[in-house]
Structures are given as structure tokens and as C-alpha cells.
Amino acid sequence: MNLIVDIGNSRIKIAIFNKDELIYNEVITNDFFVGTAINLIEKFNCKNAIISSVGNLKKSEMDQIKVKIKVFELRTTTKIPFFNNYATPKTLGVDRIALVAAAVSKYQNQNVLIIDAGTCITFDFVTTSKNYLGGAISPGIEMRYKSLHKFTKRLPLLMREESTSLIGTSTETCIHSGVINGVISEIDSIINKYRKKNKDLTVVLTGGDANFLSNRLKNGIFANPFFLLEGLNTILTYNLK
């Protein structure tokens, strides 16, 4: 059994894999991380773990986990199952590394565009020959709402709504239209540009806003909220060989 931990900007995803099968997962806050991890290690008799962190992980917390299990910390120098052609590999986020690893494992011999819709919206492209070329980083939905409020004097801070009209008839509905329709148009437009340049393109949508966006996008995609966790498990397995 493998313990998989993804420490993001706003939450921690923790999961258990039996070989390639996801058998348990939950989302927790930082306060419960160590206790939850140790409980899962003991409950599922985990032998190996991988931790990916783009947030704040204290050394003392890591040390408590290492007492219980062999831990791989995902870094830019970790052995990976694809060719990294990023111009600045040391600055590539470990979350993006995990997503590409999932893509080359699940969609072999395919061009894959991975869209992670979370705090930021990231686009990552990997070719049929497992060459990772890079992508793009854009503000996520929540960040767009927050910036409109923070950098203006009168615009309110809103949260996303399920129903959004194209034409806003009030300040609030105009904000919803601008944020949500703007994100949807951006993602659809980028997918179209990739499709024009790459045949047989597979598009995977993941991240916290994946389910919200999946039915709103015009382009055919595979929505998989666990894609990053699957990628981390792929990297762990690859390093255990």
C-alpha cells in the first residue's frame, strides 16, 4: 500500500493506493495532517509514501511521518518517467510534474494537454514521445474574484455561482459573467489552439474546479479530480523499481 500526499496552496489531499488502484482519499487541513497520515499508515499497513508540497510543510511534520514509513519527497531532481524540456526545470512546480507523470502513464503514445483548475489554472503539454514542453499559468476562479475586490474600491468580494448569465444586469452578475465566462472562453480557446497544432490530442481536466467547469466547456475532455494523486503514485512506483 502507498500513502500519497499532495499539499497544495489551500488544502491537503491524502490518499491510499493499492498498486495502481485508488482505494481511499480525503481532503484535510494542515492542522490534521500528521495525525491523519499516521492513522492511515497504520490502518492500511502502508510501506511507502510520497509527499508533494507547494504549500508549507514543516520539517518537524515530515520527521514524524518518516519515523513511521519510508518517504519520497517529490522534488525537481526526482527521477521521473518523462523527458523534461522545460527551460527552467528547477522552477517547475512539483504538482505539474506529477500531472505530466499521470499523463504519460495513463495516455501512452498520445499528445496530452493537462489543465489543472485550482488556485491557479495551469496548462501542461506532453508529446507522444514523452517530451514535456511546458504550458501556461493563469489565475484561477477564486483568485479572479479576489483580485477584482482587492484592486478596486467598490467591487464586492463574491464566490462563484452555479448559474451564470452571459449578460450581467447588476454589478454582481457582471462580475460572475466576467469571471466564469472569461475562464471558460480562455480554456476553450487554448484547447482549440493546441488541437490545431497537434493531432489526436487528449485533454484532461483536473483540480478543485474541474467538476464545475467540465460541463461548461465546449471541447471534449476527460475530467479526473484524482489525476495529480495518480501521478504521484506513478512517480513513487517508478522510483521503487
Query: Which residues make up each annotated binding site for ATP?
Result: 6-13, 119
Alpha-carbon span 31 to 28, nearest angstrom = 8
Catalytic, 31? Answer no
Alpha-carbon span 54 to 95, nearest angstrom = 7
What lies within 8 Å, CB to CB, of 40 at 6+ separation is 3, 14, 16, 24, 46
Q: How far is CA 100 from the centre of its chain?
A: 10
Which of 21, 10, 15, 12 minimizes the C-alpha distance to 229?
15
Alpha-carbon span 153 to 11, nearest angstrom = 29
Name the active-site residue from 20, 31, 63, 95.
95
No. of H helices and E strands in the chain?
8, 11
Sheet holding 12-18, edge to edge: 21-28, 12-18, 2-7, 48-53, 70-73
Which of 189, 175, 174, 113 minimizes the C-alpha distance to 141?
175
Binding-site residue ranges for K(+): 116
Just list the catalytic residues: 95
